Chain A
């Protein structure tokens, strides 16, 4: 990434538990006492591929809605700015390999990504086109 503060952003490591569930899962959580707190609509793309680790890259915009489930009336939280997330699962036995694969992939993508602050988009920088062409 380029832009103010880009060098300070490091790789975040979290524990994630994922499970498929039958379509009544929301009713189940309401049934055990959970209540809706808030709702966000995320719109975008996901790419999955293998490059030294099992990558998922998502490019999304977060949207809020004036009424519950009103997806047609969604409004972008940060207009013109998307969130790019690059994730790869790691276990204790391959942790270091995954870290270096993610780091090297991020360096590869860096010329295309410019950090923007909400309300202050860098827009598409002039060098983006050339950077994309050189990657392909």
Chain B
């Protein structure tokens, strides 16, 4: 099997416990500052095909057929902010001064509920702050939260991998806007060094899923981390940027 087996050497340092991880999970032995390499993939439906939750259940079934053990739920949120205009309605976007971005994204990651990330896509800037920062934005009143999207689903432990398969739904609705997944590889934090094994995993995943003859496929779109000033060493900021990329892909797929 191409999937790495557990039992390899792990760093001896212990770290603060993560909620929802079982004690035997390799992630528990990773120093807190290092995030494991992760790929985000989104479901690209065939032209003319609408999304449905059956794809989600089939993908979860694949994870289990590969030997994955379901070990909980996850939820990451993205908030779209738009600038407040003088009339307070946030409506007339075309009268904005040129230096004010038309939108910014707030990201709350499931693995770090105490943190908040804000992305300015036009400037390739990702800010990392405390969860309280969203209150700062609210008090400043220069931007207003317009849409709140949740990425949520189940997670599966699969050897040295963690899979999170989820749907994208606007907050407080059941409207399916997209389907995506996270693949995390615990032993490595280097993006380049983990690339080969991620590609191998993705090949196995695609093969397994292909047997279900679903009307579409998962795609991994590379984010340009260097443009955001991020290094080869994977971090939560990388994940925030991947979510922004993933969202862009999902919205393009819906429009197509």
Classify the secondary structure of A's interface with B: loop
Across the interface, do A31 and B132 meet the contact criterion of CB distance under 8 Å?
A: no
Tell me whether B142 and A18 are in contact (CB under 8 A): no
- The answer to whether B125 touches A28 (Cβ under 8 A) is yes
A4 an interface residue at 8 Å Cβ cutoff? no
| Number of B positions contacting A (CB below 8 A) | 25
Interface size on A, residues (CB 8 A): 14
Establish whether residues A21 and B142, one from each chain, have CB atoms under 8 Å apart when the complex forms.
no
Prevailing SS type, chain B contact patch: mixed
| Distance of A27 Cα from B127 Cα, bound (Å) | 9
Measured between alpha carbons, how far is A27 from B101 in the docked complex, in Å?
13
Whether B12 sits at the interface, judged by CB under 8 Å, is no
- Enumerate chain B residues within 8 angstroms of A19, measured Cβ to Cβ: 116, 129-133, 135-136
Q: How far, in angstroms, from A38 to B234 measured CA to CA in the complex?
A: 37
List the B side residues contacting A34 at CB < 8 Å: 142
Given A31-B101, A33-B97, CB of A18 within 8 Å of CB of B129: no
List A residues 1-25 near B (Cβ within 8 Å). 17-22, 24-25
Interface positions of B (Cβ within 8 A of A): 83, 97, 99-101, 104, 116, 118, 120, 123, 125, 127-133, 135-136, 139, 142-143, 229, 237
| Chain A residues packing against B (C-beta within 8 Å) | 17-22, 24-25, 27-28, 31-34
What are 20 inter-chain pairs, A to B, with CB distance below 8 A?
A17-B136, A17-B139, A19-B116, A19-B131, A19-B132, A19-B136, A21-B127, A21-B133, A22-B237, A27-B125, A28-B120, A28-B127, A31-B101, A31-B120, A31-B123, A32-B100, A32-B120, A32-B143, A33-B142, A34-B142
Nearest first, the 7 closest Cβ-Cβ pairs linking A and B are: A33-B100, A19-B130, A19-B133, A22-B128, A21-B129, A19-B132, A28-B127
